[in-house]
Amino acid sequence: MHPVIAFLKAIRSPNLFIIALVMYCLRWLILKPLIELHELKLQLSELDFSLLLLSVVLVAAAGNIINDYFDLKIDRYNKPERVLIGKYVKRRIAMISHIVMNGIALIIAIYVSYKCGVMELALIHVIWISSLWFYSTNFKRKFLWGNIVIAFCTGLVPFSIALFEIPPLVANNQDFLAEYPQAYPYFKGLVYSIFYWSLGFGVFAFLMTLAREMTKDIIDMEGDEVFGCKTLPVVLGIKKTAWIIVAIYASILIAIFSIQQTFLDDKYSLAYLAFIFSPLVLWAMYLTIKGSHKSHFNLPALLNKIASVVGILYAVVAFLILSGRI
């Protein structure tokens, strides 16, 4: 295998594409129509948003490659045919790439934070970089910690869109609000809408990732046990872990239908969630309950990823509703 191809596989290029998809969907299909409903416009320029997206993708790529760097022994045990670092990509190149990608991402984050007028926003990238480093070196081997760290980093991606959009939105409209104080409740409602939509997608990403990471731990449990990783299936066993995963899926379904009925209450959202998203999750739940061997969990892991993308693409339905097209 050519080193360039191996490198692209090591950074999980398809996963990076999904991150970019999430960020673009939230910006263009949720935030843009929400803000335009209030006769305002997106505050981050296309260039600044593209730079923000690039920085997030670079952090994720760096995290993926450093995970393979430290997981070399476990990966040789669990999936020797898929080992890339040390075989096609030199370990030294992997570590240098990790440092360079994180360095570029942090510089970009500082620049975009400066443009937003809130330098502290760059700390989000510091949290991502630190979390992914300590996940690979330490947290992954501790009971439940590794799953929570990865789920947290994933959930922070959609939420970060709001964090980088709200401060300039508020700052750039201070004069207008001072002149027309009666518009403040209307403007406050917009800020809350942006916050809650982003938070909703963030919590969804957190829970779906948490379930997927636990499923992957079942698949990798033999190697994890040999090398002393105290993952959920190693400590509790396959069956108990499977029921925890099912409980997470059930909580997702209960939450989204409760939100749909309470806040959205439209037939298009209901149809999308009931007939497109839910069957994938229910199928994953069924296979997870039935599974008794690690090989039985490959399909549930795939279904989780598909359901995650389908869930994010609900933004298309939300866009059509918010823009008044349906």
With tokens 């969990």, the residue in question is: 297
For the chain, the first-to-last Cα distance in angstroms comes to: 49
The band of 228, judged by pLDDT with boundaries at 50, 70 and 90, is confident
pLDDT of residue 173: 82
* pLDDT for the residue 322: 81
**pLDDT the model gives residue 182:** 75
Instruction: Return the closest-CA partner of residue 99 out of 42, 61, 136, 145.
Output: 61
Choose the weakest-confidence range: 36-50, 103-117, 173-187, 274-288: 173-187
Measured CA to CA in angstroms, residue 259 lies from 127, 262, 274 at distances of 30, 5, 13
pLDDT tens, position by position, 162-174 = 999 998 888 888 8
Q: Is the pLDDT of residue 325 over 80?
A: no
Distance of CA 285 to the CA centre of its chain: 21
Looking at residues 27-33, what average pLDDT do you find?
Answer: 93
- pLDDT classification of 80: cutoffs 50, 70, 90: confident
Contact 152, 131 (CB under 8 A): yes
**171-177-182-186 Cα dihedral, nearest 10 degrees:** -30
pLDDT in tens, 252-292: 999 999 998 888 778 999 999 999 999 999 999 999 999 98
Q: Are 319 and 29 in contact (CB under 8 A)?
A: yes
What is the CB neighbour count within 10 angstroms for residue 186?
12
Residues of the chain with pLDDT > 90: what percent?
71
Task: Give Cα 277 distance to the centre of its chain.
Answer: 17
pLDDT of residue 201: 95
**Mean of per-residue pLDDT scores for the chain:** 92
For residue 85, the cross-strand partners are 89
CA proximity to 11, closest of 79, 77, 61: 61
pLDDT given at position 316: 94
261 vs 111 pLDDT, higher one:
111
Q: What is the pTM of this model?
A: 0.93
16 Cβ neighbours under 8 A, 6+ residues apart: 57, 60, 61
Position 171 scores a pLDDT of 84
SS (H, E, C) the chain: CCHHHHHHHHCCHHHHHHHHHHHHHHHHHHHHHHHHHCCCCCCCCHHHHHHHHHHHHHHHHHHHHHHHHHCHHHHHHHCHHHCCECCCECHHHHHHHHHHHHHHHHHHHHHHHHHHCCHHHHHHHHHHHHHHHHHHHCHHHCCCHHHHHHHHHHHHHHHHHHHHHHHHHHHCCHHHHHHCHHHHHHHHHHHHHHHHHHHHHHHHHHHHHHHHHHHHHHHCHHHHHHCCCCCHHHHHCHHHHHHHHHHHHHHHHHHHHHHHHHHHCCHHHHHHHHHHHHHHHHHHHHHHHHCCCHHHHHHHHHHHHHHHHHHHCHHHHHHHHHCCCC
- Look up residue 260 and give its two tokens: 């749909």
Q: Bridge partners of 89?
A: 85
Q: 64, exposed or middle or buried, with CB in 10 Å at 0-12, 13-18, 19+?
A: buried
Cα separation, 158 vs 239, in Å, equals: 32
Token readout for 209 is 């990732």
Task: Evaluate if residue 308 carries a pLDDT over 90.
Answer: yes
Give the per-residue pLDDT at 209: 97
pLDDT at 185: 82
Which tens digits make up the pLDDT trace of 187-212?
A: 888 889 999 999 999 999 999 999 99
**pLDDT band per the 50, 70, 90 thresholds, residue 82:** confident
